[in-house]
Structure 1
Amino acid sequence: MEIELISRETIKPSSPTPSHLKIYPLSFIDNILMRNYVPLLYFYKPNKDSDQNVKISQLRKSLSQLLSKYYPFAGRLKDKITVECNDQGVPFLVTNVKNKLSEVLQNPIEKLLNPLFPDELQWKEMDWSETLIAIQINCFACGGMAISVCMSHKIGDGSTLFNFMNDWSIINENLPKEKEGEKGLLELPFHFLDGGASMFPQRDLPIFQELVLKRENNVVCKRFVFQPSMIKSLKKMATSSSVHSPTRVQVVTAWIYKCTVSITGLNFKTSLFSMAVDFRKRMVPPLSEKCVGNIFWFSSMFADKKEMELKDLVCKIKEGLSECCDVYPKIFGGKKNDNLLKISECLKQVTESYSENGNLISFSSWCRFPMYEADFGWGKPIWVTTSACYVRNGIILMDTRDGDGIEAVVNMEENDMTKFEHEVKLLQYASLNPTNV
Structure 2
Amino acid sequence: MKLAVELVSEQLVKPSSPTPESLRHYQLSFLDQISAEVYNPFVYLFPSNGYDLESNSNPITISNRLKKSLSEILTHYYPLAGRFIDNKFVHCNDEGVPFLETRIKCKLNDAVHSNLVGSELDKLVPFELDGAAEYPFGIQLNVFDCGGVAIGVCFSHQIADGLSCLVFIKRYDPDLIPTKEKDDDIISKRFVFSASVIETLKAKYRTNSESKKPISRVEALSTFIWSRFLAIINHGDKDQSESDEPKGLYALLHNVNLRSRMEPPVPEYSFGNYYREVVAMESEVMCHGFPLYDVNFGWGIPVWVGLSSLRYENQVLFADTESGGGIEASISLKEEDMAKFENDKELLASVSSIG
Residue in 2 aligned with 1:288?
A: 267
Residue in 2 aligned with 1:163?
A: 167
1:232 equivalent in alignment to 2:239 = no
Deviations 1:261-288 (A, max 9, x none): 1102283861121000012233344322
Residue in 2 aligned with 1:2?
A: 4
1:247 to 189, 196, 216: 216
TM-score norm. by structure 1 comes to 0.73
Q: Which runs of 5+ in 1 are unaligned?
A: 176-185, 189-212, 304-315, 323-364
SS at 1:162 equivalent: helix
Using the TM superposition, give the Cα deviation of residue 431 of structure 1 relative to its aligned residue in structure 2, in angstroms: 2.7
Q: Which runs of 5+ in 2 are unaligned?
A: 236-245
Amino acid at match of 2:91: E
| Pairing of 1:75-154 with structure 2 (within 5 A) | 75-110=82-117, 112-119=120-127, 121-122=128-129, 124-127=130-133, 130-154=134-158
Counterpart CA distance in 2 for 1:25 and 1:152 is 15
Residue in 1 aligned with 2:243?
A: none
Counterpart CA distance in 2 for 1:228 and 1:63 is 35
Counterpart CA distance in 2 for 1:406 and 1:29 is 29
Decide whether the 8 Å contact of 1:139 with 1:146 is kept in 2. Answer: yes
Counterpart CA distance in 2 for 1:251 and 1:411 is 19
Counterpart CA distance in 1 for 2:40 and 2:107 is 26
Decide whether the 8 Å contact of 2:291 with 2:320 is kept in 1. Answer: no
Deviations 1:107-130 (A, max 9, x none): 1222542321214x23x1123xx2
Using the TM superposition, give the Cα deviation of residue 12 of structure 1 relative to its aligned residue in structure 2, in angstroms: 1.0
Using the TM superposition, give the Cα deviation of residue 243 of structure 1 relative to its aligned residue in structure 2, in angstroms: 4.2
SS at 1:379 equivalent: coil
SS at 1:428 equivalent: helix
Number of residue pairs matched by the alignment: 335
Counterpart CA distance in 2 for 1:425 and 1:289 is 37
Counterpart CA distance in 2 for 1:115 and 1:275 is 28
Counterpart CA distance in 2 for 1:62 and 1:390 is 30
Amino acid at match of 2:318: L
Counterpart CA distance in 2 for 1:416 and 1:291 is 37
* Sequence identity (%): 36
1:257 equivalent in alignment to 2:265 = no
Amino acid at match of 1:288: P
Using the TM superposition, give the Cα deviation of residue 163 of structure 1 relative to its aligned residue in structure 2, in angstroms: 1.1
Q: RMSD over aligned Cα, in angstroms?
A: 1.8
Counterpart CA distance in 2 for 1:244 and 1:281 is 19
Higher helix share: 1
Using the TM superposition, give the Cα deviation of residue 256 of structure 1 relative to its aligned residue in structure 2, in angstroms: 0.6
